[in-house]
Amino acid sequence: MADFVGVVQTLLYGLINGSVIAVGAVGLTLSYGVTRFINFAYGELLTLGAYTALLLVGMGLGLPVAAVVAVLVIGVGGVLVARVFYDPLSDRGALPLLITSIGVAFVLRNLVRAAAGTEARQLPVPLMRPWVVAGLRLNPVDAGVMIAAVVAMLSIHLLLQRTMLGKKMRATSGNEQLARVAGIDTDAVVRRTWLISSVAGAVAGVLLAVQFPPFRPTMGWDFLIVVFSATLLGGIGKPYGAMVGALVVGVAMSVGTRYVATEYTMAYAFAILVLVLLFKPEGIAGGEL
């Protein structure tokens, strides 16, 4: 019995972590789907989200308000970064953009370092004991983070399926030239995609900072590897695949750490990734979206 509870508990932790990874992975995969290059500066959006929230809290805002404002600010900031650094290179193919994004990542990370210092920081999150139901423990903070992550993913789902922008994004993602011929202003779609992608990144950053304090300016870069593996696992460019991929990665890391060996957490995520790439290279979601 105790062991069964332990297994369920481990799965639960995996799902909670996976839900935060999922928000990050969806943002990354959306931007890839539309722009066709992988944004290595994406991790810095997570960091910027967390540090902007921290800055706003320091200015006297309550955490929920600070979090929302930070997410919006970074959403707009992400679009600016894309316009300044990526748009001028957009017709040069994926590789120059990719290399540029690595440079942008270094610049952003070091700007955060210069502004906020390298020491560990934290948001004012209340420390709480867990709720215990049938031997299972769920911390209110974790529950809150999970709900926020689900809401974020649901919003993206509704956006993609129920709005004109979503349709345009899917069309652009499917075949940019065809979308353009059909009268879609793909440049506008790309800009809005950057906004949504940056918002998702900032949300993931704030959730990560709330759930696992303390954090440093390297938090986003460190987390990027996990986000990448979830994105690839789900089939790059496919938002629903990324969500599933993230949950699988979260659960794999949790179960591997708990039942195999504690010192190789990342390895479990990558082991699953390698297996999927070997046997189902289009990603677990397969097909379109």
Partner 1 sequence: MPTPTRRTFIGATGTTILTGLAGCAGSGGGGTATPTSTAGGSSGDDTSTPTSTAGDSGSEADIKIGVLLPFTGEYDWVGANVYPVTKMLVDEINANGGIDGRNVGLVRGDTEATVDASVSAAQKLVNVDKVDLIVGPTSLTFTGVKDLIEENGIPVISPSAGTTELDDVGGEFIFRTVPSDSLGGRAISKAIRNEQYNGITDYSKMGLMVGNAPALQSFKAPIKSSFEEYGGTVTNTLDYATGKSSYQAEVSKMLQSNPEIICLVGTPEDSAKIMRAAFQAGYEGNWFVTQDQTNAEFLSLIEPQISDGILGLVEADNPEAVEAGRIEQFTADVKAATGSEPGIFAKNTYDGVNIGTLAMVAAAQDGDVTRESIAANIPTVAKPPEQDVTTYSEGASAIAEGTDVNYEGLVGPCDFNEYGDISSPFAIMQADGTEWNQIATLPASEL
Q: How far apart are the first and last CA of the chain?
A: 40
Min. distance of Cβ 57 from partner 1 in angstroms? 16
Pick between residue 110 and residue 163 the one whose CB is nearest to partner 1. 110
Query: Chain centroid to CA 31: how far?
Result: 11
What gap in Å lies between CA 19 and CA 250, rounded to an integer? Answer: 8
Three-state DSSP class for 200? helix
Min. distance of Cβ 102 from partner 1 in angstroms? 6
Three-state DSSP class for 282? coil
Pick between residue 52 and residue 257 the one whose CB is nearest to partner 1. 257
What gap in Å lies between CA 269 and CA 245, rounded to an integer? Answer: 10
Min. distance of Cβ 103 from partner 1 in angstroms? 10
Structure tokens that stand for 37 in this block: 């290059």
Q: How far is CA 80 from CA 85, 103, 104, in A?
A: 8, 16, 12
- CB 46 within 8 Å of CB 204: yes
Min. distance of Cβ 77 from partner 1 in angstroms? 21
Structure tokens that stand for 193 in this block: 């995609």
Pick between residue 164 and residue 278 the one whose CB is nearest to partner 1. 278
Pick between residue 215 and residue 240 the one whose CB is nearest to partner 1. 215
Of how many residues is the chain composed?
289
Pick between residue 140 and residue 162 the one whose CB is nearest to partner 1. 140
CA nearest 52: which of 243, 201, 245? 201
DSSP annotation of 129: P
Which residues sit at the interface with partner 1, rule CB under 8 A? 2, 6, 9-10, 13-14, 16-17, 36, 38, 40, 90-91, 93-95, 98-99, 102, 105-106, 118-120, 122, 127-130, 132, 137, 139, 141-142, 176, 208, 211-219, 221-223, 225, 228, 232, 236, 253-255, 257-258, 261-266, 277, 281-282
Min. distance of Cβ 171 from partner 1 in angstroms? 15
Pick between residue 134 and residue 263 the one whose CB is nearest to partner 1. 263
Pick between residue 129 and residue 134 the one whose CB is nearest to partner 1. 129
**How buried is residue 84: exposed, middle or buried, by Cβ count under 10 Å (0-12/13-18/19+)?**
exposed
Min. distance of Cβ 140 from partner 1 in angstroms? 9
Min. distance of Cβ 275 from partner 1 in angstroms? 14
What Rg value do the Cα atoms of the chain yield, rounded?
A: 19
Query: What backbone phi and psi angles, to 5 degrees, belong to 119?
Result: -70, 160
